[in-house]
Amino acid sequence: MILFCLLLNVITYVPYLTNASSCESKSPAYNPSGTHAILTLNNFARGGDGGGAAACDGRFHPLPQRVVALSSGWFNRGARCGRMIKIKARNGRSTVARVVDECDSGHGCSKSHRNHQRGCKTNVVDASKNVWKDLRLNTDDGEVPVTWTML
């Protein structure tokens, strides 16, 4: 019985500790001093890996635009559409980008994205290539810790 309870506790709490559950749409709380996130790469152009047009304006956003999609909780049903955010990398570099889309963390387990990608984690800032360039980050890294704030 003790082993069963211990196992149940591990199964219950591990997704919260690792952010392994991409089925949850609740993002970590926004912190005006800097919200911790994972930066991922997205191509917002027509035919890019982002899939369809951006949720905020129904348009595609080719380079050189500096644009991002926020995880569902931070996207907040479009409340941050068109707003500018400042993204800061651990190397001290920062840049500014416009919120144009949602990185769907609410349907990650049931809805596939283009190229069979699963939905986003709940703590993602999905950014265009020029955001990565401005931060002098290597896109081959795939995921990089950053902080972001609203401007």
pLDDT tens-digit series, residues 66-107: 999 999 999 999 999 999 999 999 999 999 999 999 998 875
Return d(Cα 145, Cα 124) in angstroms, integer. Answer: 9
CA distance 100 to 148: 15
Beta bridge pairs of residue 127:
41, 68
Q: Tell me which residue of 87, 74, 68 sits closest to 27, measured CA to CA.
A: 74
- For 65: left if phi > 0, alpha if psi spans -120 to 50, otherwise beta; the answer is beta
CATH classification for the domain delimited by 22-150, as one of 3.40.1440.10, 2.40.40.10, 3.40.50.1000, 1.20.120.530: 2.40.40.10
pTM of the predicted model as reported, rounded to 2 decimal places: 0.77
| First and final C-alpha spacing in the chain | 53
Domain boundaries, the chain: 22-150
d(CA 37, CA 87): 9
- The 10s digit of each residue's pLDDT in 126-145 is 999 999 999 999 999 999 99
